[in-house]
Chains A and B, each alone.
Chain A
Amino acid sequence: MTLFDYPFMINALRAGTIVAVVSGAMGWFMVLRRQTFAGHTLSLVGFPGAAGAILLGLAPAFGYFGFCIAAGVIIAMASPPVGSALYSEESAVIGSVQAFSLACGFLFVNLYHGNLNGLTNLLFGSFLGITNGQVVSLLAVAVPALVALGLIVRPLLFASVDPEVAAAAGIPVRLLAVIFLLLLGAAAAEASQITGSLLVFALLVLPPATAHVITGRPLLGIALSVVLAVAVTWAGSVMAYYTPYPTGAFITTLSFAAYVAVRGIRVLNARARKGPVPMREALT
């Protein structure tokens, strides 16, 4: 028997792949836009969302999507517009959302009379026991989110790299910021269901950050980020199948190792290339 003969393994790989593709793509923009703090908060918000849904007797997926997307909208609306942008102010908004949502999460878990195993799953994820229905619901969110990203990919890149010039060129910079946080909320909600709220970063930050180190070409970088996220998800799932350790731990470790390796190679290359710096021609 191979591992593909087990339906739970097939579903884990299906779900993992969907989540990895979405996280790799959205995460690339999140790293570019320096919104990792927002992304982190959106992931954590999934925890009270799911806990609240369980408390009300609903499927956790409703809580993940509802809370993550709502938090995305709140952060986007409450943040200062580009130009007058005070990053500290945005951070304060995000931090408040994060603190409040964590407090809600603990309250909900307590009200539910703490099933400790459930709490661990919410925080650290559960790859096994993913149903067909869950795979379909992940796909139902992933496809429209990716289509939306494809539609706005170039204006979003412009607005992220050069907001003022983009605004002058007629791009709706503020609207794109809101749409992007919505998409990021969807990605965080997807990833939370598989990796848990605490390990979302394994997929949402590390593969994109690695891709940014490897290439400065936007479309290639997004593709690379997706490929890396899928690769660590598959490798992590297979490793977990043959060992008694959880999938999330392997995915996180592999993503982190890839990032460290790529940074290390860059440093070594830079050292090797470092010769006398040529004088720049002063005048053209």
Chain B
Amino acid sequence: MKPAGVVSDTVSTSNEVIHARGASVRFGDRLLWSGVDLHIGPGTFTAILGPNGAGKSTLLKVLLGLQPLASGTVDVLGAPAGAARRRIGYVPQRGAFDRTLRIRGLDVVRLGLDGSRWGLPLSALRARRTREAVAEVVNLVGATQYASRPIGGLSGGEQQRLVVAQALVRRPELLLLDEPLDSLDLANQAAVAALVQRICRERGVTVVMVAHDVNPILQFLDEVVYVARGKAVVGAPNEVITTQTLSALYGARVEVLRASDGRLVVVGTPEAPALHADRHAG
């Protein structure tokens, strides 16, 4: 485990997908988090955990180059954050699509491929290639059956698979997912988590997923970034999600309990992620 602030100089940074040193973000005079160091290797599956408002989504925006740093540096895919945007797939934190949105799932996926092109799609050859690429990625996420229906009418899990397909259709090297399991039922959480794991392993895509509950992805994770109280700890899940590490991070007594089925429960902090499954109810 590498506590934040300790930079390991022995690690070669050349093949790291994400490399951050002393990164901090400030909103006005509020320091959101600081001293964040990240070393994320290719083909790994990393989770960003932490309480609401800790700055998890902001960390993803930093990686995308959408949020400037107050200090420190972040390199993504060998270039300063933002420069390699086209090689990154991104699924933001969001609710479902509007029920009345009548655009087909296929067309939403397709936007990931040609949505940033100017002008009319006039080349028949390119149109065919686009169609094939879209069909392939829709098949990969197992959405072929319903992809030609309007996306607004699909269930949360079905929509989530299609937006993952949209993020994948350009064959990104890095996939950034912001709470993709949120608002899914347990069965769909497990299915989407397994899908992301498969993409990570089979296609060698580096995955960074913000999660509000670590349990659905715990068995797949290589690394965990736990953000709380303006700091972050990074390391293997069994090193970070422990009573000792989290107590040190929160500066208060926090207990990590392991249920008999292997699920982790964090107790003692009013904002512990696993305890707040109902936070969207209000």
**Residue from B111, B118, B142 in contact with A151 in the complex, judged by beta carbons closer than 8 Å:** B118
**Residue from B85, B90, B115 in contact with A158 in the complex, judged by beta carbons closer than 8 Å:** B115
Q: Tell me whether A80 is interfacial, beta carbon within 8 Å.
A: no
Q: Tell me whether B94 is interfacial, beta carbon within 8 Å.
A: yes
A-B contact count (CB 8 A): 93
With A283-B187, A284-B195 as contacts: A165 and B121 at CB distance below 8 Å: no
Q: Tell me whether B229 is interfacial, beta carbon within 8 Å.
A: no
Q: Tell me whether B251 is interfacial, beta carbon within 8 Å.
A: no
Q: Identify which of A151, A155, A213 gathers the most chain B CB atoms within 10 Å of its CB.
A: A155
Contact partners of A212 in chain B: CB under 8 A = 102
Contact partners of A170 in chain B: CB under 8 A = 85-86, 116
Number of interface residues of A (CB under 8 A): 30
Q: Tell me whether B194 is interfacial, beta carbon within 8 Å.
A: yes
Contact partners of A157 in chain B: CB under 8 A = 111, 115
Q: Tell me whether A136 is interfacial, beta carbon within 8 Å.
A: no
Separation of A284 and B190 alpha carbons in the complex (Å):
9
Contact partners of B103 in chain A: CB under 8 A = 32, 161, 216, 218
Main secondary structure of the interface of A (DSSP, over half): helix
Q: Tell me whether A77 is interfacial, beta carbon within 8 Å.
A: no
Contact partners of B282 in chain A: CB under 8 A = none
Q: How far is the CB of A36 from chain B (nearest CB, A)?
A: 12
**B115–A166 touching, CB < 8 Å:** yes
Contact partners of B188 in chain A: CB under 8 A = 282
Separation of A164 and B190 alpha carbons in the complex (Å):
26
With A165-B90, A212-B102 as contacts: A171 and B116 at CB distance below 8 Å: yes
Q: How far is the CB of B128 from chain A (nearest CB, A)?
A: 15
With A150-B119, A154-B118, A283-B191 as contacts: A168 and B64 at CB distance below 8 Å: yes
**B150–A155 touching, CB < 8 Å:** no
Q: How far is the CB of A40 from chain B (nearest CB, A)?
A: 18
Within 8 A of A (CB), among B58-111: 64, 66, 85-86, 90-92, 94, 97-98, 101-104, 107-108, 111
Separation of A166 and B120 alpha carbons in the complex (Å):
18
Q: Identify which of A151, A153, A154, A216 gathers the most chain B CB atoms within 10 Å of its CB.
A: A216
| 6 A-B pairs in the complex with CB atoms less than 8 angstroms apart | A151-B118, A154-B115, A158-B115, A162-B115, A213-B102, A218-B103
Q: Across the A-B interface, give the 3 residue pairs with the lowest CB-CB distance, nearest first.
A: A158-B115, A282-B187, A216-B104
